[in-house]
Each structure stands twice: as structure tokens, then as C-alpha cells.
Structure 1
Amino acid sequence: MKKVLVFGMTNNPGGMESVIMNYYRHIDRNKVQFEFLCNTETVAYSDEIEQMGGIIHKITARSVNPTKYKKDLKVFFEENSSKYCALWFNTCSLSNIDYLKYAKKYNIPKRIIHCHNAANGGDGLLRSILHKFHRRYLNKYVTDYWTCSEDANKWFFGKEGDKLINYRLIYNAIDLNHFAPNEKIRDQYRKKLGIKTNEILVGHDGRLHYQKNQEYLIRVFEKLNRKFPGKYKLLLIGKGDDEEKLRGLVNEKNLNNEIIFQGLVNNMNDYLQAMDIFAFPSRFEGLSIALLEAQANGLPCVISNKISNASKVNENVVMLPIDDDAIDLWVNQIDIYSNVGKKVDIEQFEAKHFDINNEAKVLQELF
């Protein structure tokens, strides 16, 4: 059995974490097993990881105690590196590449960097500077360059990123059966959320953060609610740094009875069943796993035109601008989609390499 050291799991069950887990669930764990290096107190999906035979190693985060972080890294790699065939380093920016440096120093033969985002907006100037600085030195430490989309590749690795050695597009594949429409679960979760039979539920899944642009969605919903009072409810799933600000905005606009903050959930598939429309106004994305899951459920989707076209699978997906002048376009499109219903194009999912049952075999061979 080969062992792979995986970095990228945090305490937030977000898109990157979902990608890692989707592959972990579907590889042959008798042939390839993962161990996880984490720097958060709690780790998303930790119970499931351990049930599947995975081991979680925890070290101090650099932001908590830089000195102890360095010591923990050194001790961990000294004691463990010899058992790994590869480091699979999943990240949304290059602000910290210490894990790759230590993997090379302690002779892990395959050192993979896997980018999961197409910009660094909202995370500060320093992170942006570090990202560009570290990009120059990747070839000293990296043996394989992976990306979630070609758009992400250009920002992450540079204009010539696709010419890097062992460059590969790794698809954000999902389990289509897990998200297929289910009327029984739909009824159950609409009751749980207090959604009436005649109400249209607009849903959104994403970290409450500048990137995901929930503030814009709330402004759209305010106008939607004003135009069609009592017809729509909005469900926001996720947590993040912007939560307090967003709750304040909802309170300011007197929308507390119309907008539901659900927080983090581990069963997004069930909440998708309850929705009628999926809204996703991101300022940028690598390739959104949340959007793919919504499409696997067949939901009509109104999304930002800043998102890669590669994310679009079904026909019932419309891309719109996210400037102030486009708010009416969002309102009108959401209302049009209130009568469309769900439709999944399974053949397109498979053709675009988004079926995890196929893609997990490819990933396994790469290890």
C-alpha cells in the first residue's frame, strides 16, 4: 500500500475540503491510503476520515505561534516523511509553501501542488505579495503541478503555467448519485426550514467572505422581495468572516423573516433538495464544487459571469454581471427560473470529467 500525505483540510467543510474528500471516498484505499497534516484544532470530516482508515496529524498553525509551528514541522517530517510516496499540497494561494520545502528536504519523492482558486481578492495585500514572490521558486520544490481549472492555473502559476513539468488539470468531480433529486428528502427539509408549499426557496452555499459576494445577493433579494412580497425565501449556507456584517445588512433591510442563515452543514445534498433555485454571485472562483453539486441536483442556477465557463454543465444555468446595474437582471432571471424546475444532464457531467467514479481512478494512478 502506498501512503500519501495530504495538506488542505481545515475546520471548514468548504470547496477544497470537499474535493479532497470526494477523491478519498472513491479511491481504492487498499492500494492508496491518505494521512492528513492539519493546523486547525478541529478538522472537517474527521470522524469519516478515521472511519476510512485515515490518520490526522496536527501541528501548530503559523498564525498562532510561528516558532512552535516551525518546530512542529521539523519534528513531523523528520519522524514521518520516509513512509510517504507523495505530498498532495492543496491550497488557494502561495502565501505559505513551507510544507513543500520540508517535503523536499526530507526526501518525499513526489511533491504535488494543487491550486483551488483563481484570485486572492479579500485576503490582504501581504498574502498577495507572498503569493507572487513564492511563485518564482516553486520549481525548486515541486515535481507536479495540478489545477482545478485553466482560469485558476493562469492566476496561480502564471501565463505559462500549462507548460510546467507534470502539469495536469484535476477535475472537481462529485458523486452524481449523492445529489440526485429526491422528493421525500425535499419535503422533509422544506418542513425543517419552515418553507411553505407556495414559497420559492433561493439557495446559496459558500463561505461568508468577500469572494462569494453574499452582500450582492442580499441586495438582489431585497429587490426581489419588494417586487414579489411573500413569494421568496433565501437560504444562506456557510460561515465566515463576513457573517456579522451580513447579518447586520439583513437586519438593516428588515429581511430577518425572509433570509435564513443556516451555518455550516455536513449534508449539503439534503439542503439542495429543498431549494428551487441556486444563486451564486462570486467575484472569482477556481472551479466551484458548490455550483457543480447544485447542478447535479438539477437546480436552475443564476451565477456570476466572473465564474469559469467550465463550471457550467446543465442548460438551466445563466451567467450575469455583478455590478449595480445588473441587480434587476438577477431579479428578473430568478423569477423566470421559479417556474423551470430541476433538470440534470448526466451525459455532460460525464463528458466534462465531473463524475467522481471515473476521475478517482485517474487520481489513484497518478499517486
Structure 2
Amino acid sequence: MKKILHIIPTTDFGGVTTMILDIWANTNKSLYQFDFVVFNKGRYHDYFMEQGSQLFYQKYITKQGPLAYVMKIYKIIKENGYDAVHDHTGYRAVFTLLAARLAGVKCRVLHSHTNVAEEWSNKYFLSFLKKISVMNATKLVACSTNAGKFCFGEKSFDLLFNPMDIYKIKYLSQAEKKLFKKELGISDDDLVLGHIGRFVPVKNQQFLLKLATRLKQKHIKFKLLLIGEGPLEEEIRMLVEHNHLQESVKLLGQRADIFKLLQLFDKFILPSKYEGFGIVLLEAQVCGTPSLVSTTVPREVDLNVGLIQYLDINGDIEDWLQEIIKKNEPIELHSIIDGVENKGLNAEDIAKKMCSYYI
């Protein structure tokens, strides 16, 4: 059995966590053991444990210092005898991969899941982090072309799309949808709009409130559901109050029932300034939900079944409003399943591809 140590940001809800869970659930556990170094304990902690993983929680490097972190990762690797280290933190992987190299790990995978680094204003230091991370890796992987070019520059890399296990979804009946709407305070005649994402600048929730304000001015009856948490949450709440949108905009916090919520939306809206892959958009499509997204979202996530409309967040806001109120024809489930297969997003196939890195 090969033992793999993955480095992920959190065991809470999120794109990287969702990807890893789907891959780990579809991995042959008689051949591979996945353990994890994690920086934030979240609501999937117990699920990881149930899958047989060891979890090593660490403080952020900025909290404990690079040397202490390298020594801890080195010790974890040596004590557990890992065959490979797979870091999902992109350019932040410098010290993890260095520890793995010092520990004699032959397979060191650097995985880029984003094409932006908003926290780094010093582009020279960011360039340095990327360069050293790449130097300590033996395999470069990205979830999209943009994410790969951002982290690796002109270096060659492998594309590993985020998987979609469509068979884990329970599709709701019309009666179940009606009951769920009632629980959330949504009327039958409400236009239901939804957004899922952390409250951070890159997700651009302020743009959603601009849309909500214009819809209210047009006297369109709607509910906008915002799902997520983050540092800008209080700012968004204040903007909702300032624009008198309390009756139409609901902040639901972090939720575990994402697939149920996606099936309620008449439109899913993702006006991100940047996206590495946008797995939530993939989730929206497999729920059959029409989606309006910014042109910065990678095209790799589009299943090409007619559920995505790309729009410019710097363009005319009326274009967004027209698409929001437009009626969409439902897409048959078999077309969505075909779209997942044709895109190569089958979770079992992607799990096999990832495991091939460790041979």
C-alpha cells in the first residue's frame, strides 16, 4: 500500500476539500492511504476520519515560523513513512515540499487550484514563492489552464479537473422543493437567485447587491440567497440594510445541503473576479440550474449542455438583469450525465489519474 500525505487548507466546506473528498471516496483503499496536513478544522473532520485518514492539524506558517513548520512536517513524514506528498496550496507549498525533499520523499506533487493571489501585493516576493515551490516539486498539476499558468509560468504541467460524483446527488421532487422553499421563507412566486462562496473580495458579492437593488427598482419579486462565510460577511450585511434589501436578500451562512439549495435556484450567479476552476458551478450544472457567471471563470468547468451564460462584470449591468429574468428550458438529466462523462469529470476516473502520479 502506498501512503500519501496531502496538504489541504481546511476540513470545512470548500472547493479543494470537496475535490479531495470525491477523489478519496473513489480511491481503492487497499492500494492507497490518504492522510492530511490541515490548517483549519471544519465540518468534514469526522468524515475524513471515517474514511480511515489521519489528520495532522497545523498552525499557519506565519503563526509558528518556517523552521518550526518544516521540522514538524519532516517529523510527520519520517514517522509515518509516506511515499508521496501532494500539496494543494499552490505557491504556498514552499516549506512543505522542502520538508518532503529533506525527508527523502521521491514524489512531491505541487497542485495549483487558483489563478490569483490577492493577499500578495509584492509581486517579486510572490514570484519568488512560486519559483522555489516549483523547484522543490517533482510533478506539477493544476485544476485549469489558467491556474497552471498562474503558478507555474511556462513550465509544463498536467491538468487534473475537479471531479463530479453525480450519483451522490438526491434530486428533489416538486413537492420537496415546495416544502424546502417554505422552510426558507420563499414564496411560490419568488424568482429564486443563489450564490455560494466565501465572503472575500474575489467572490464579488457587492456586485450581487447591485443586481438586487436594480431588480427591486424594477419591482421584480425575488429572493437572493447568499451561502457562505468570510471576512466581508458583516460588510455585506450592512450593505443589505443600507439598500433596504432585508426582505429580498438572505444570508444563510455555511450550509451542508448545497445540492438541495442549488435545486431551488432559478438562476445561480457567480460574478467572481477570478476562479481557479469553480467547482460550485459544476455542482450547479449537475443540479440542472442555469448559471450566470463572469467571463473570468475557466471554460473547462462548462459541461456544454446550455446551462452557463458568460457575462462581463465590467459591462452593462442590464445584460445581467435580462439574463436573470429570462426563462430557461429545463435540461434532461441524461444530457448532464453525458456532459460530465464527455468532459472527463467522472470521479472514479479522476481518482485513478491522481493515483497514477504516485507510482
Q: What TM-score do the two structures reach when normalised by structure 1?
A: 0.90
- Measure, in 2, the Cα distance between the counterparts of 1:282 and 1:317: 14
Report the CA distance between 1:44 and its aligned residue: 4.2
Tell me which of 74, 80, 86 is aligned to 2:84. Answer: 86
Taking structure 1 as reference, are residues 188 and 357 closer, same or farther at Cα in structure 2, changes over 3 Å only? farther
- Measure, in 2, the Cα distance between the counterparts of 1:96 and 1:361: 24
- Measure, in 1, the Cα distance between the counterparts of 2:234 and 2:298: 29
Pairing 1:56-205 to 2, within 5 Å after superposition: 56-66=55-65, 70-81=67-78, 83-91=81-89, 93-121=90-118, 123-126=119-122, 128-158=123-153, 160-162=154-156, 167-179=157-169, 181-183=171-173, 185-205=176-196
- Measure, in 2, the Cα distance between the counterparts of 1:353 and 1:209: 30
- Measure, in 2, the Cα distance between the counterparts of 1:291 and 1:8: 21
Identity %: 26
- Measure, in 1, the Cα distance between the counterparts of 2:224 and 2:77: 47
Please tell me whether residue 308 in structure 1 is matched to residue 305 in structure 2.
no
- Measure, in 1, the Cα distance between the counterparts of 2:43 and 2:85: 20
- The superposition leaves residues 243-288 of structure 1 with CA deviations (integer Å, 9 ceiling, x where unpaired) of 1111111111000111111111123112112222100101111111
- Report the secondary structure of 1:131's partner residue: helix
- The superposition leaves residues 97-125 of structure 1 with CA deviations (integer Å, 9 ceiling, x where unpaired) of 1101001001112100110011223x241
- Measure, in 2, the Cα distance between the counterparts of 1:199 and 1:18: 30
**More moved, 130-139 vs 281-290:** 130-139
CA contact (8 A) 2:73 2:99 kept: no
Q: What TM-score do the two structures reach when normalised by structure 2?
A: 0.92
What residue number does 2:54 align with? Answer: 55
- Measure, in 2, the Cα distance between the counterparts of 1:194 and 1:29: 43
- Measure, in 1, the Cα distance between the counterparts of 2:104 and 2:277: 32
Name structure 2 gaps, 5 residues minimum: none
Length, aligned pairs only: 353
Pairing 1:243-282 to 2, within 5 Å after superposition: 243-282=233-272
What residue number does 2:211 align with? Answer: 220
- Measure, in 2, the Cα distance between the counterparts of 1:102 and 1:148: 24
Name structure 1 gaps, 5 residues minimum: none
**More moved, 282-291 vs 31-40:** 31-40
- Report the secondary structure of 2:351's partner residue: helix
- Report the secondary structure of 1:161's partner residue: coil
**More moved, 129-138 vs 15-24:** 129-138
Report the CA distance between 1:14 and its aligned residue: 1.1
| Amino acid in structure 1 at the alignment position of 2:233 | E
CA contact (8 A) 1:282 1:307 kept: yes
Report the CA distance between 1:33 and its aligned residue: 1.4
Taking structure 1 as reference, are residues 70 and 188 closer, same or farther at Cα in structure 2, changes over 3 Å only? farther
Taking structure 1 as reference, are residues 193 and 332 closer, same or farther at Cα in structure 2, changes over 3 Å only? same
- Report the secondary structure of 2:150's partner residue: helix
- Measure, in 1, the Cα distance between the counterparts of 2:332 and 2:225: 21
- Report the secondary structure of 1:262's partner residue: strand
CA contact (8 A) 2:199 2:232 kept: yes
Please tell me whether residue 297 in structure 1 is matched to residue 287 in structure 2.
yes
Please tell me whether residue 320 in structure 1 is matched to residue 311 in structure 2.
yes
Report the CA distance between 1:147 and its aligned residue: 0.4
Report the CA distance between 1:353 and its aligned residue: 1.2
